[in-house]
Amino acid sequence: MTESRISACGVTKVFDRREARRTKGISTEGIGALRTLIRETWRTAPGRAAVAARDKYHTWALDDVSFEVGPGEVLGIIGRNGAGKSTLLNILARVMHPTAGRVVIRGKVVSMLELGIGFAPDLTVRQNLQIHGRLAGIPARRIDEAEDEILGFAGLSDCREVPLAACPSGSAVQLAFAAVIGLGADVILADEVLAVGDSRFRHACEERVRNAGASGESVLFVSHDMAAIRRICTRVLWIDRGRIVQVGPTDHVVDNYMSELLGGKLLPAATEDVPPCTLLDLRLLDAERSQVGALQLTEPGYIDCLVRITSPDIAVTVEIELWQRRLHVLTSVAPRPITARSPRTFRAGMRIPAHFLNEQQYQARCKLIVTSISDPAAPPVVAGEQRLDFAAMNPRPHESVWKDWPWGRGGLISPRLEWTVASP
Amino acid sequence: MLAIRIRNLGRYFGPHVEIDGAERPGEAWRALLIVAGFNVRPAAGDDVQRTVTVPGHVLRDISLDIEQGSAVCLVGASGTGKSVLLRILAGVIPPTAGSVEMYGSVSSLLAVGDNLDNRLTAFENIQKFRIALGVPAAAAATYETDVIRFAGLEGFEHVPIRTFSTGMTLRLSVALALSGTPSIVLIDDVLGVGDIAFQQKCVDRLHQLKEENCTLVLAFSDETLVQQLATRVITLGGGRVVNDVQPHHWMPHQFVSTAADVEWRTAQQLPEDDVIALRAIDVELYNDGEDTAVDVQFTLETKAVRLQCWPTIYVVRDRVVVFRSVFSGFVPMAEPGRLTFGVRVPTHILSDGDYIMTFGVATRQESTIYSLKAQDAVSLSVRRPKQSADDAASNPVLTVTMPWEIEALTRPAE
C-alpha cells in the first residue's frame, strides 16, 4: 500500500472567545516582540495542549478529526454553514495551528483558500506569474516553459504584458488557478474555487482537477455545490459541528447528507433539550434552487434558510441582513411568520433578482425571531443566528457593461438603470 | 426692530485651478495662462485628470430681514450655501454682491475651536475672550467660573487647549461663543459632535439668550433641534432661499431636490485639444404610486470627431458609493455635436438620508480610456415617515422589498 499524502490524526481546534479580544498578533516592537518571541519559541506542542472546557466561551470548531488521503485521491469535504470545513482546510494549509492533534503532509502543498491573494494589480500578467512561481520555489526556467500553457488555460495569452488591473475582472482568479494547476504540486487544497469564473472556465477547472487526481496528485476540495462534488470527488468527508459524520464513496455520503439536511434530522443529541426552533443551515441557491458557492449576477439567486420548528406554540419570522464589509446594505424580513402544528422543516429563501448585486464580497446574517402564540405579550426572542460569506460573480465578464471600466467595481449594489440617448 | 438686513446678497467663487505639479515654475505659468482663459496644451505625458473648475455662484440674490429676538434656522442639503451665508454674516469672507447690515455685537462659532488659541490654557483663552468682550474686571471672576462650569471643565482650567480631547474643545468653544451678552449669535452645525447632555445645556442657554432679546442664526441639520429652537426656518437651495416659514409649517419634505435648477458646467481637455463639456439640464421627480424615481438629463458637448462614450452616474452617501450605472454600450458620434443622456434613478430603494449624484462620461480614444467627471453634483435628500423604534438600531443604506419563498419540506411527523 502506498503511503498516504495527508494524514490528520485527532485534529482539534478550539476558539476561545475571550482570547480573541486580547492582542494575539505578531508584534515587532517593545514588550509585544518579546511576548511573540516567547510564544512562538515555546509554542505548546500539538497534542499536548490543555483540552479546553466545553462552555460558552469556547467554540469547538473541530473535534477529534482523523482521516487519510492517498495519492491520486480527490476528497470532497461537505457540511453545513459553520460546520468546520474551512477551519480544517486552514489547518492543513498551516494558516492556523490546531489546538490538539497532528497533521502530516508529504509533498508540496498548494493552497487555494482565497484565489488572487498575492497578486499585484500593477504588475503585468507575466511578472505576476513569475513572482507567484518563484515564491512557490519553482525555478525561473520552468516557469518560462510552462508560461504559454498557463496563460492559454487562463485565457490571458493576449494580455501577457498588460497590467493585471487592466485585464477583465476575474483574471486574477483565473490566473491563480491556472498557475496552481500548471506549475505542479503534490497536494492541492481548494476552498470553493470552482464557484468563481465563467462556466467555460469552471468546466476546464473541473477537468483539470479530475486529471490531477488521475496523475497522482491529491486534492482536497471544499464546496457547497453538490453537483460539482458528485462529478469530481472520489471520496467524500461529511463533517457537522466539528465532528466527522461519515466518510465514504461520493454518492452514498452526498445522498445521506442531503436527506438528513432536508429532513431536518441534524439536531442536537437527544439528551439535550430540543429547542422549539433551530436554524439548520444558511445557504446560497441558484435559480434552479440547487446549492452553490457563489452567486451568479446574471441570474436570480436565493439566500436560503432551513428552519426546523418543533413547538406548535411559536411563530418564527426569518430576517436576513446583507452586509458588504462594514456597511449594512439592506434588511429583509420574511412577509409572514412560519408556524407548525407538528415538528417540520421549512425553507425560507430571500430571492435576489438578477442584475442587482455588485461584483463584491457580501455577508448574509440570518436571524430567527420567535414570538409565542399563546402569550402574545411576551417579548420576541432571537433564536438562531448564522452568518454566511459569499461572493457575487459575473459569470460572463466579457459581456459585462463594465468590462472595459478601469476604475474598479465600487458600489453596494449595481442595478441596471434605464438610460436614453438623444441627439437634438 | 431689525437685527440683520440682507439685500441682494451674492457670493461668487472665482476660477479655482487645480493642476498637479503647479509648484513647478513651468506649470505655474501654465496655470496662470489657463486662469487667463488661454487654451493651453497639456504638457507631454500628463493625463486629463487635471481640471479647471468653471467659476460659479454659491449664493445669489438673497434678501432677508431678521427681527431682533428671533431664532432663524438655516436648513438645506450640504453645499447649498448655509455655511457661506454664515461666514458672510460673521464677516469672515466678503460678499461679491449686495449688502449686509448687522445691528449689534456678533458672537459666532463657525467651526469647532476657531475661537480658541491652541497654545494657551483654557483659563488664558477665557481671559482673552473676556477682554475682547469688554466684561469689566469686577465681573471677571463670575464670568470665568460661569464659562468653566458651562463647559464642564472644572479641574482643567490650566491645561493647554492642544492637549484637550475633541469633546472638551467643542464644549469650551461653544461655552465661549454663548458667553456674555451678545446681541447676535451665529452658529454653524457644530453641536452634533457633543454629547446629549451638553446639547441640552446649549439649547437651554440658546433659549435664555432668545428671551434676553438676542438674535440667533443657526445652521442645524438635526430636525429635533430645529423644532425646539426655531421661530423661523429658512431653506436654502441652489444658492437661493427656497422656503421661509414658521417652524410648525416646516416639515422635512419627502424629497428635497435642492438642485432642481442645476446649472453646472465642466470643461476638460482631451488630447488634440478636443474640448468636451458636460451640462446638466433637467432634474425632475417621477412618481407612479409605489415607485419613486428621479429623472436626470445631462448633455455632452464636444468638438471631437469620432468619439465613443459611455455616460455614467454615481449615487454616493457619506463617501460610500451606493450604486453606479453606465449606459450599456458605446455611443458612437459621427460628427462633433451634442448628445443628451437621460437616466431614471430609483429613489424608492434608498433609505432616509442625504445622497449625492455625480455624472460623468468616459470616452475612449484608441485604446486609452478617459473619464470626464462633472465637478458639481445633484444633491438628493430622502425623507420617509419614521419607522417603528426597533428599526432604529441598525440602519441599512437600502430599503428594498425582496420577494421571499417559504415552503415546508417535510411531511408532519406523528
Contact between B346 and B255 (Cβ < 8 Å): no
pLDDT score for A352: 93
B275-294 residues touching A, CB cutoff 8 A: none
Residue range B275-290: mean pLDDT, rounded: 65
- B262 band by pLDDT with thresholds 50, 70 and 90: very low
Residue range A220-247: mean pLDDT, rounded: 88
Sign of CA dihedral A394, A399, A401, A404: positive
pLDDT in tens, A254-290: 988 888 877 666 655 544 566 788 888 898 888 888 8
Q: Does B346 touch chain A (CB under 8 A)?
A: yes
Contact between B51 and B87 (Cβ < 8 Å): no
pLDDT score for B26: 63
Residue range B329-358: mean pLDDT, rounded: 77
Collect all residues of chain A within an 8 Å Cβ-Cβ radius of residue B411.
344
- A250 band by pLDDT with thresholds 50, 70 and 90: very high
- DSSP label at residue A40: H
pLDDT score for A393: 79
pLDDT score for A237: 93
* Helix/strand/coil for A219: strand
Q: Which of A328-342, B66-80, B185-199, B266-280 has the highest mean pLDDT?
A: A328-342
Closest chain A C-alpha to B300 CA, distance in angstroms: 10
Side-chain-side CA neighbours of residue B370 (13 Å): 21
* Cα distance between residue A285 and residue A167, in whole Å: 29
pTM for the predicted model, two decimal places = 0.61
* Cα distance between residue A30 and residue A33, in whole Å: 6
Contact between B346 and B290 (Cβ < 8 Å): no
Mean pLDDT of chain A, nearest integer: 81
- DSSP label at residue A188: E
| Interface contacts (A, B; CB < 8 Å) | 149
Contact A342 B344 (CB under 8 A): no
Higher pLDDT pick, B306 / A367: A367
The gap between the terminal CA atoms of chain B, to the nearest Å, is 85
Contact B394 A331 (CB under 8 A): yes
Collect all residues of chain B within an 8 Å Cβ-Cβ radius of residue A321.
394, 396
Residue range A333-356: mean pLDDT, rounded: 89
Element (H, E) at A215: none
Q: Which of B167-171, B315-319, B374-378 has the lowest mean pLDDT?
A: B374-378
* Full set of structural domains in chain B with CATH: 68-253 (3.40.50.300), 254-386+395-405 (2.70.50.60)
User: Residue A342: which of B340, B402, B413 has the nearest Cβ?
Assistant: B413
Question: Mutating which of A169, A278, A330 best tests the B interface, going by the most B Cβ atoms within 10 A?
Answer: A330
pLDDT score for A350: 93
Closest CA to B300 of A422, A128, A344, A107: A422
Q: Does B334 touch chain A (CB under 8 A)?
A: no
Contact A421 B328 (CB under 8 A): no
Collect all residues of chain B within an 8 Å Cβ-Cβ radius of residue A331.
394, 396
Q: Which of A262-271, B9-18, B40-49, B51-60 has the lowest mean pLDDT?
A: B40-49
Collect all residues of chain B within an 8 Å Cβ-Cβ radius of residue A345.
408-410
Contact B346 A335 (CB under 8 A): no
- Is the pLDDT at A66 greater than 90? The verdict is yes
3-state per-residue secondary structure call for chain B: CEEEEEEEEEEEECCEEECCCCCCHHHHHHHHHHHCCCCCCCCCCCCCCCEEECCEEEEEEEEEEEECCCEEEEECCCCCCHHHHHHHHHCCCCCCEEEEEECCCEEEECCCCCCCCCCCEHHHHHHHHHHHHCCCHHHHHHHHHHHHHHHCCCCCCCCEHHHCCHHHHHHHHHHHHCCCCCCEEEECCCHHHCCHHHHHHHHHHHHHHHHCCCEEEECCCCHHHHHHHCCEEEEEECCEEEEEECCCCCCCCCEECCCCCCCCEEEEECHHHCEEEEEEEEEEEEECCCCEEEEEEEEEEECCCCEEEEEEEEEEECCEEEEEEECCCCEEECCCEEEEEEEEEECCCECCEEEEEEEEEEEEECCEEEEEECCCCEEEEECCCCCCHHHHCCCCCECCCCCEEEEECCCCCC
Closest CA to B101 of B180, B231, B12, B3: B3
- Which distant-in-sequence residues (6+ apart) come within 8 Å of A12 by Cβ? A51, A60, A62, A63, A64, A65, A98, A99, A100, A101
Collect all residues of chain B within an 8 Å Cβ-Cβ radius of residue A328.
394-397
Q: Where are the domains of chain A?
A: 273-397
Collect all residues of chain A within an 8 Å Cβ-Cβ radius of residue B349.
415
- Is the pLDDT at A79 greater than 70? The verdict is yes
Fold of A273-397: Coagulation Factor XIII; Chain A, domain 1 (2.70.50)
Q: In what order do the strands lie in the sheet with A277-285?
A: A277-285, A301-309, A344-352, B404-408
* Cα distance between residue A404 and residue A385, in whole Å: 40
Question: Mutating which of A169, A261, A331 best tests the B interface, going by the most B Cβ atoms within 10 A?
Answer: A331
Closest chain B C-alpha to A359 CA, distance in angstroms: 12
Give the chain B residue nearest A413 (alpha carbons).
B323
b/e for B8-38, b at 16 or more Cβ within 10 A? ebbbeeeeeeebeebeeeebeebbeebeeee
Residue range B117-123: mean pLDDT, rounded: 88
Q: Does B402 touch chain A (CB under 8 A)?
A: yes
Give the chain B residue nearest A350 (alpha carbons).
B404
- A320 band by pLDDT with thresholds 50, 70 and 90: very high
Q: Which of A303-317, A354-368, B20-34, B259-273 has the lowest mean pLDDT?
A: B259-273
Give how far Cα A132 sits from Cα of A125, A136, A161, A311, Å: 10, 6, 16, 55
Other Cβ atoms less than 10 A from the Cβ of A312: the count is 13
Question: Mutating which of B307, B356, B409, B411 best tests the A interface, going by the most A Cβ atoms within 10 A?
Answer: B409
Other Cβ atoms less than 10 A from the Cβ of A143: the count is 21
Collect all residues of chain B within an 8 Å Cβ-Cβ radius of residue A342.
412-414
Question: Mutating which of A305, A402, A412, A414 best tests the B interface, going by the most B Cβ atoms within 10 A?
Answer: A412
Contact A332 B408 (CB under 8 A): no
Higher pLDDT pick, B88 / A201: B88
Contact A334 B410 (CB under 8 A): no
Which residue type is seen at A198? D
pLDDT score for A235: 93
Residue range B80-99: mean pLDDT, rounded: 87
* Helix/strand/coil for A271: coil
DSSP strands (E only) in A311-352: 314-324, 327-333, 344-352
User: Residue A262: which of B394, B401, B409 has the nearest Cβ?
Assistant: B409
Q: Does B352 touch chain A (CB under 8 A)?
A: no
Closest chain A C-alpha to B168 CA, distance in angstroms: 29
- Is the pLDDT at B33 greater than 50? The verdict is yes
pLDDT score for A222: 87
Question: Mutating which of A307, A417, A418, A420 best tests the B interface, going by the most B Cβ atoms within 10 A?
Answer: A417
pLDDT score for A301: 92
Name the percent of chain A lying above pLDDT 70: 84
pLDDT score for A180: 77
User: Residue B320: which of A327, A343, A402 has the nearest Cβ?
Assistant: A327
Closest chain B C-alpha to A295 CA, distance in angstroms: 16
Contact B397 A423 (CB under 8 A): no
Q: Which of A51-60, A279-288, A318-327, B34-43 has the lowest mean pLDDT?
A: B34-43
Contact A419 B342 (CB under 8 A): yes
* Helix/strand/coil for A407: coil
pLDDT in tens, A224-237: 888 888 888 889 99
- Is the pLDDT at B82 greater than 50? The verdict is yes
* Cα distance between residue A137 and residue A146, in whole Å: 14
- DSSP label at residue A412: S
- B385 band by pLDDT with thresholds 50, 70 and 90: low
Place of cell 465514504: A248
* Cα distance between residue A101 and residue B225, in whole Å: 62
Element (H, E) at A418: strand A418-422
- Is the pLDDT at A197 greater than 70? The verdict is no
Contact between A268 and A277 (Cβ < 8 Å): no
* Cα distance between residue B94 and residue B87, in whole Å: 8
Q: Degrees (nearest 5) of the Cα angle B18, B21, B24?
A: 120
Contact A347 B409 (CB under 8 A): yes
* Cα distance between residue B126 and residue A286, in whole Å: 67
- Which distant-in-sequence residues (6+ apart) come within 8 Å of B163 by Cβ? none
Q: Which of A103-117, B14-28, B328-342 has the lowest mean pLDDT?
A: B14-28
Sign of CA dihedral B76, B79, B80, B81: positive
Residue range A52-71: mean pLDDT, rounded: 82
Contact between B339 and B225 (Cβ < 8 Å): no
Place of cell 440682507: B6
